[in-house]
Amino acid sequence: MFPLVARSRLLPMSLPFRYFGAAVVFQVAAWAMLFAYSSDFVSFEGSLGPAFAALHLVTLGVLAMTAIGATLQLLPVATRQPVRSLGAAKLAWWLLVPGVALFAAGAAAFAPQTMGIGAMLVGLALAIYAVLLAVNLLGARGMKVVVAHGWGALACLAALAATGLALVARYEHGVALDHGAFRAAHLVLATYGFMGLLAVGLSSFLLPMLAVAPAPPAQIAYAVLALAIAGIVAAVLGLPVPAALLGLAAAAMHTASLERSLRARLRPALGPGFLLVRVSWACLVASIGVALLMALDLAPARAALIFGLLLVPGWLLTFLLGVLQRIVPFLASVHYSSAARGTPLISALTPAPLLAGHQVLHLAALGALLAAALTGEAWLARAGAAAGLAGALAFASFFAFVIVKVRHHGIQPPHQPAPA
Amino acid sequence: MEFNRHISRRLHEEHDATLTLWGRVEATLAAGKSDPALLKSAAASLAHELDVHFDFEEKELFPRLAAFGEADIGELLAEEHTTIRSAGRRFIELVRSDPGAAELKPLALELAERLFSHVQKEEMSLLPMLEDLVDEEADGELTAAYTS
């Protein structure tokens, strides 16, 4: 599938994998930052500092980085359109990686000017990506559901960049604006908007493909999109209760339709990654539930922190890690297929014990951080960050394993059923 | 995904049947059970897959993809056909001649994985592309050629 695109549309393995590789490194950096400054965690309210830096290492360095790499590879399959410029795709990576590093370093060091340079680089990278995405969507022929979600994500990306630059201008130049409103809009556009709509749209064909299951009905997918966009617009306009209700309806419908699809799968074993995907769905629904409680003034102490945890590491990061557990071996297998060598078996590129360990560590990290946010206990935050760091290192080992394995070949037939 | 061309639908139905059968094979072997009748059925189905389905794709479909500038897709799928054929022939031979062979279980599991992966690729790329490349007349010709 994907290399079909990669070959006929000349997207070499190094292109998506450079994005995935950078995301792997930034994930380690994010957890390391949180571990080093875990005492700041329970009092974090969104202001500059190491926790803010760790948050953006995840959102920009892991989530956006992976989203770009994955969509460059996956969208051409869904839209039957090639990536128009490999040079532009590479340039975006060369801008995004130093941009994220500078932005995070500036945030951690309370240095808005450094952050500003990083933000400009990130903005340029996202602008290049937005053009590539728009060109691809304009010529799209297949999978209209995915295309519609792509347009929604693109619109959110444009608004996200605008609000992000406005916030940096406030930090750097003291530009007067309604900081709370801009920050809330920026957060919603980045998470539920850009990342969320891409994740939801790609889920509608990627997850059934991985599970060998039928895709959810298109009408339901469009209904989810309409509800999600209405919720995002309401949130940006400062109407949190309608936004949360619309978002809850969209999230419930999305997860229910995919669960129904997975139940109809043709391959009994779901394989690795799907536990993380399911946990991420629970976190998505819970995040909106907490947002609703906050809007109704019914939320517990540190509700904003709990909300952020459920949203970013809980939903988006967990979902992405679950999907990467599957698509990294899959893509590597197809890229290294040749007439002389044959196609490497995906199961031989899937180190099951390592992935199981990563899963346990990641979920333990989430649990401990949520407990820290609920109780205000700093030691729980430190324990959670330690588990997260260990999990990120396990994930990095998995990524390195796949790269080394495909380069050395010598792949043996499996003696256990492979992941779907 | 909904397919409008007869040939796409026909291939899709065969893919579904293949996945259902090999899903059972995989689940049975993974549970440590033995089911000679199921393996015989899988071998018979695989023989049709290798001799009819694969041949048709290689002779009729991949050249059409190449003519439309999508040769690499056909090349990749043909490479997988070669690997699956090799393992598949061995599997069919073992089921017929030595169903108790220790080699049979890992070979069947390997085939199940390769077939799942291969069908996923065809469903996501080959069949949607046929929807674009094949007009009604060609659809009729291809369907007739496949079912003859």
Domain boundaries, chain B: 6-147
Say how many residues make up chain B. Answer: 148
**Does residue B34 contact residue B79 with C-beta atoms inside 8 Å?**
no
Segments of chain A with pLDDT less than 70: 1-10, 172, 174-176, 338-341, 409-420
CB contacts under 8 A, A 63-102 vs B, are 77, 80
Concatenated DSSP letters for A133-191?
A: HHHHHHT--S-HHHHHHHHHHHHHHHHHHHHHHHHHHHHHH-----HHHHHHHHHHIII
Whether B132 and A416 lie within 8 Å, measured CB to CB: no
- Which helix (H) or strand (E) segment holds residue A199: the answer is helix A196-211
Q: Is A14 on the interface with B (CB under 8 A)?
A: no
Rounded to whole angstroms, the Cα distance separating B64 from A294 reads 58
A308-367 pLDDT, tens digit each = 999 999 999 999 999 999 999 988 888 777 666 677 888 888 999 999 999 999 999 999
B103-115 pLDDT, tens digit each = 899 999 999 999 9
Which of B1, B83, B106 is opposite residue A215, by nearest beta carbon? B1
Q: Is A321 on the interface with B (CB under 8 A)?
A: no
> What pLDDT is recorded for position A5?
41
Whether A4 and B27 lie within 8 Å, measured CB to CB: no
Whether B110 and A414 lie within 8 Å, measured CB to CB: yes
Residues of B with Cβ-Cβ distance to A80 under 8 angstroms: 128-129, 132
Under the phi-then-psi rule, with left for phi > 0, alpha for psi from -120 to 50, and beta for the rest, what region is A177?
A: beta
Phi, psi of A342 (to 5 degrees): 75, -175
What value of ipTM does the predicted structure carry? 0.81
Under the phi-then-psi rule, with left for phi > 0, alpha for psi from -120 to 50, and beta for the rest, what region is B32?
A: left
> What pLDDT is recorded for position B92?
94
Amino acid at A164: G
Q: Is B112 on the interface with A (CB under 8 A)?
A: yes
> What pLDDT is recorded for position A408?
74
Could you tell me the fold of the domain covering B6-147?
Answer: Four Helix Bundle (Hemerythrin (Met), subunit A) (1.20.120)
Segments of chain B with pLDDT less than 70: 1
Whether A418 and B107 lie within 8 Å, measured CB to CB: no
> What pLDDT is recorded for position A340?
67
Task: Compute the radius of gyration of chain B from its Cα atoms.
Answer: 16
Residues of B with Cβ-Cβ distance to A11 under 8 angstroms: none
Rounded to whole angstroms, the Cα distance separating A309 from A287 reads 8
> With 0-12 CB in 10 A as exposed, 13-18 as middle and 19+ as buried, what is A354?
middle
> What pLDDT is recorded for position A77?
76
Rounded to whole angstroms, the Cα distance separating A257 from A380 reads 36
Q: Which domains does chain A have, with CATH numbers?
A: 2-407 (1.20.210.10)
CB contacts under 8 A, B 64-103 vs A, are 69-73, 75-76, 79-80, 82-83
DSSP state of A10: T
Residue of B nearest to A342 (CA): B83
Question: Strand, coil or helix: what is A342?
Answer: strand
The token duo for A246 is: 């619309």
> What pLDDT is recorded for position A168?
77
